[in-house]
Amino acid sequence: MSRDQPEPTVRDVSDWWATSVSRVEPDRIELRGHPVQDLIGSMSFAGIIWLMLRGETATPGQERLLEAALVSSVDHGPHAPSIAVARMAATCGIGLNNAVATGVNLLGDVHGGAGEQCMALLDDVRRLHRDGVGLAVAAETTVASWRARSRYLPGFGHRFHSVDPRRDPLLGQVERAVADRVVDGSYLRAAHAVERVLAEGRARPVPINIDGCTAVVYAELGFPPPLARGLFVLSRSVGILAHAWEETGQGRRNKGPMPPSILPTFTDGA
């Protein structure tokens, strides 16, 4: 340390780590200004997520809608890359936390990022509509613009499901929230408008999928797009943990993507 530089003080350190998220002192823990003992048993996990991210307490309607979205994204089977890799990692002699982290680390732009991308898409529709363009034309223009850049439209269509089984119950929750004036429904209307554009001239429609549905929820609730991915990570971590835990109890070692029964057999000299 330079002779001219003053000695650091306790206040210097406390200011360096100052945050509005939490405060810890001897015999006291506060989360967003609330003593933790007041939250334990009185606030749901979805409620504490809202409090920590937003700095305020959710209304019952906001909390209910957030929880519905979190539940909807928990798992999508062992073929999902984040879950498959967590199961394989769990057989490689690493800890459960490492297996979960391996799965979470796969949640990127392609696998796990579509909700954030769909929020941007729906924002484009809403922006045009606010500028005086009819909703149908705004959706057509936005779809054309996005398809000019990529044939993939985030949040719509599904590889496995003709209609994502999570679509109707989750969008139904949004419709309920609109009726209760919890949210205004503008993102929901934009999503339906895009669905109608994608269905034109097709025998089989291209309905909104779970990424699009959760994008509607998180956008209606006022979360910025990057947090759509963060919230998806929180949700999917539950499924990743369950699969990794199950795999640890099955006694496999070095589980690969294919069962040993269909792997080629190698002999000396082959």
What is the secondary structure of 137-205 as a DSSP string? HHHHHHHHHHHHH-S--TTB--SS-SS-TTHHHHHHHHHHHHHTTSS--HHHHHHHHHHHHHHTT-SS-
Lowest mean pLDDT among 93-97, 163-167, 210-214: 163-167
CB atoms within 10 A of CB 101: 16
**What pLDDT sits at residue 161?**
59
One-letter identity of residue 69? A
Please answer whether residues 128 and 138 qualify as being in contact, where contact means their C-beta atoms are separated by less than 8 angstroms: yes
Partnered with residue 156 across adjacent β-strands are 208
**In the chain, what are the domains?**
23-58 (no CATH), 109-236 (1.10.230.10)
Report which of 269, 260, 128 is spatially closest to residue 186, judged by C-alpha positions.
Answer: 128
Could you tell me the two tokens for 77? Answer: 């089977």
105-114, 189-198, 222-231, 241-250: least confidently modelled range: 105-114
CA distance linking residue 239 with residue 22, whole number of Å: 28
Choice between 6 and 25, residue whose per-residue pLDDT is larger: 25
Kindly tell me if the per-residue pLDDT of 29 is higher than 90: yes
pLDDT of residue 163 exceeding 80, the answer is no
> Whole-angstrom Cα distance, residue 8 to residue 72?
49
Confidence of residue 109 (pLDDT cuts 50, 70, 90): confident
Of the listed ranges 17-21, 175-179, 251-255, the least confidently predicted one is: 251-255
Task: Say yes or no to pLDDT of 270 above 50.
Answer: no
Q: Which amino acid is at 151?
A: R
Contact call for residues 128 and 141 (beta carbons, < 8 A): yes
Question: Which comes out higher in pLDDT, residue 63 or 205?
Answer: 63
3-state secondary structure of 23: strand
Question: Exposed (0-12), middle (13-18) or buried (19+): which is 204, by Cβ within 10 Å?
Answer: exposed
Residue 256: the pLDDT is 81
Q: Which pLDDT score, from 0 to 100, does residue 15 have?
A: 82
Convert the pLDDT of each residue in 218-244 to its tens digit.
999 999 999 999 999 999 999 999 999
> With the C-alpha atoms ordered 168, 172, 175, 181, is the resulting torsion angle positive or negative?
negative
Q: Which residue has the tokens 């306790």?
A: 10
Residue 267 has pLDDT above 60, yes or no: no
Average pLDDT over residues 80-109: 93
Q: Contact at 8 Å (CB) between 29 and 12?
A: no
DSSP 124: H
**b/e per residue, 209-233, with b = 16+ CB within 10 A?**
bbbbbbbbbbbbbebebebbbbbbb
**Direct distance between the N- and C-terminal alpha carbons of the chain, in angstroms, rounded to an integer:** 65
Q: What does the pLDDT look like over 141-150, one tens digit per residue? A: 999 999 999 8
Band of residue 64 on the pLDDT scale cut at 50, 70, 90: very high
Instruction: Report the chain's mean pLDDT, rounded to a whole number.
Output: 90
pLDDT value of position 254: 84
